[in-house]
Amino acid sequence: MDVSGLPPARRILIMTAHPDDADIWVGGTSARWVDDGHDVHSVFFTRGDKGHGDPAMTPQRVATLREAEQRAAAAILGVPRLTFLDFADGELAWSGPGLAETATRLIRQERPDTVVTHDPYTGAPGYREPQLHPDHRAVGLAVVEACYFRVPGPLYYPEHRAAGLEPHRLREILLIMSEHVDHVVDIATTFERKVQAVRAHASQFGHRADLEGFLRGLAARAGGGPGVPLAEGFKRLVLS
Ligand SMILES: [Zn+2]
């Protein structure tokens, strides 16, 4: 178990499926990165357009609402750069080769030191709801495979090179929602901001009476092994 203040990252690209994923699982760490002057860019493959229980809503209205909530949350954490892609919520696992190409292109554009994404390898005996969402596993698989094989491989997508996007080798991947946590970040100094950021996703958490208690429990479980009271936990893959 590696417990550190922070990984030595400079350019961080967070690639998640829906608005709110990043704030729940890496929000406290993101705020620390921002506070320390690192460049943090968060990419959302969907606008979460199916994430509403009211059948009178439309996917378009939900998408507009959730993008606004995400922008408010990012402002609380200080994350300055957000990109919303137009993949359909719930359909990423069946979106075809465009998902891998998009992930590769974004990483070649941004040239990050660290990529944060979903752990696609849930493993036994996980089966927790966040890990079962097909969008999470689809984004995680596309991004992890892109980092290892597609982004550094010059024969993948030669049209990228023609457009000035060179192959790139990044330093590490941090996986969220993982059953195999081996890297823990202390978020005591940013936990309150994380709570406010998650609260900004009112369409998702407005019904939850004790949101802070829920997040405190999540943070305690993440740090439980190495004895960090408020933490976020990741599986860390080192590439170079
Ligand atoms: Zn999600």
pLDDT in tens, 158-203: 999 999 999 999 999 999 999 899 999 999 999 999 999 999 999 9
What is the Å distance from ligand 1's center to 53 Cα?
A: 15
What is the Å distance from ligand 1's center to 17 Cα?
A: 5
What is the Å distance from ligand 1's center to 90 Cα?
A: 9
pLDDT confidence of 102, banded at 50, 70, 90?
Answer: very high
What is the Å distance from ligand 1's center to 159 Cα?
A: 31
Query: Would you say residue 25 has pLDDT above 90?
Result: yes
Place of tokens 């506070």: 35
pLDDT at residue 240 in the model: 76
Amino acid at 1: M
pLDDT in tens, 194-210: 999 999 999 999 888 89
Question: Do residues 142 and 159 make contact, with C-beta atoms less than 8 angstroms apart?
Answer: no
Beta-bridged to residue 83, according to DSSP, are 43
Nearby residues for ligand 1 (ion, Cβ within 5 Å): 17-18, 21
Q: Is the pTM of this model over 0.75?
A: yes
